[in-house]
């Protein structure tokens, strides 16, 4: 198995996306303006890229009968759908907090759980190949997400 540090790097862009979701939620909660297009960009990234990470992990977790982890993935999908529905409402900041908590916890818990499973090398090899592919897709969003993170960080820190 690959070192744990490489797994953390694989999700660096996803964590940046989660930070942008959190920052936008805080900005709205404090009655500050956000650009609706920025919200759409980050939610699209989470839907199209970050959730692919959860989907990849879900197959292994399901085969290992780790249904609580799979349930957390379902909750993340449901809350992401809710974020799209409540965008621009008073409910959005709370949904942002819930979503970022569920996804970040799922990533950390899933990685810890996977490191303890005795999976066959072929399954693990396929899993890591999928993760590598998702990471390549995520990196295409990296610069945009970092710009959004800087835009919504207040006060701006050096």
Residue 14, C-beta contacts closer than 8 angstroms, at least 6 positions apart: 49, 50, 53, 103, 107, 138
- Residue 79 in contact with residue 102, Cβ under 8 Å? yes
- Residue 29 in contact with residue 93, Cβ under 8 Å? yes
CA–CA distance, 141 with 137 (Å, rounded to integer): 7
- Residue 113 in contact with residue 61, Cβ under 8 Å? yes
Q: What is the pLDDT of residues 21-39, one digit of tens each?
A: 999 999 999 888 889 999 9
Q: What is the pLDDT of residues 47-94, one digit of tens each?
A: 988 888 787 777 777 666 677 777 888 899 999 999 989 988 889 999
* pLDDT at site 93: 94
* pLDDT at site 7: 46
Q: What is the pLDDT of residues 119-134, one digit of tens each?
A: 677 777 777 788 788 8
* pLDDT at site 158: 34
- Residue 99 in contact with residue 81, Cβ under 8 Å? no
pTM, 2 dp: 0.78
């Amino acid at each position: 198995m690959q070192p744990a540090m490489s797994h953390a790097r694989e999700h660096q862009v996803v964590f940046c996306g989660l930070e942008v979701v959190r920052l936008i939620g805080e900005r709205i909660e404090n009655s500050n303006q956000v650009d609706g297009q920025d919200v759409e960009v980050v939610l699209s990234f989470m839907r199209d890229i970050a959730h692919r990470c959860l989907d990849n992990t879900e197959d292994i977790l399901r085969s290992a009968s780790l249904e609580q982890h799979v349930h957390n993935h379902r909750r993340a999908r449901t809350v992401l759908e809710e974020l799209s529905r409540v965008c621009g409402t008073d409910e959005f900041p709370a949904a942002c907090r819930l979503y970022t908590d569920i996804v970040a916890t799922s990533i950390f818990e899933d990685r810890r759980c996977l490191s303890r499973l005795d999976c066959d090398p072929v399954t693990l090899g396929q899993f890591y190949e999928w993760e590598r592919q998702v990471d390549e897709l995520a990196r295409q969003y990296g610069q945009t997400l970092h710009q959004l993170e800087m835009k919504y960080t207040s006060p701006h820190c050096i």
